[in-house]
Each structure stands twice: as C-alpha cells, then as structure tokens.
Amino acid sequence: MGTHKPEVAIKEALGKLLTVEEIADDLRVPKSWVYSRTRETGPDAMPRLKIGKYLRFERDKVRAWAAKSSN
C-alpha cells in the first residue's frame, strides 16, 4: 500500500489546479473571457471544477479543450 495519506493526495491534486487568473495568463486571454466560457454548459463547455465558490482548472484539460474548440 502507498504511504500517502488521503489528505496529502488531495492537497497534491489541488496544488496542480489553476485559478481563473492563472488559466487566463496561460491561454493569453482576459479573465472576462474565461468567466464567460465558464457560464456555458454542455459537452463543449470549458472544463472546470467548482470548489465551493471557487473555479479551478486543470491545465492539460483546458488546453485540449481550447485546441479542439479552435478547429
């Protein structure tokens, strides 16, 4: 069995999540553009996690979504 406690694994996973500001910088778009995309729903919506009132993003999933959306 692994030596990691569940709390450590959760903290490590959450540490890899980006904020709205960070994903906007990564995509080189304004924060307002990110917020507008997060209001969209459905299968083509921007991938995001809502943790309480906070939005978080996984860089790889958002980049794959952006590449697919730009075609």
Name the residue among 33, 60, 32, 62 with its Cα closest to residue 47.
Answer: 62
pLDDT of residue 13: 62
Distance CA 32, CA 50 (A): 17
Q: What number is the average pLDDT over the span 38-51? A: 93
Taking 90 as the threshold, does the pLDDT of residue 7 lie above it?
no
Taking 80 as the threshold, does the pLDDT of residue 15 lie above it?
no
pLDDT of residue 46: 96
Beta-carbon count within 10 A of 17 CB: 17
Where are the chain's structural domains? 6-69
Split at pLDDT 50, 70, 90, the class of 70 is: confident
Name the residue among 17, 57, 7 with its Cα closest to residue 37.
Answer: 57
Backbone φ and ψ for 35, nearest 5 degrees, come out as -60, -40
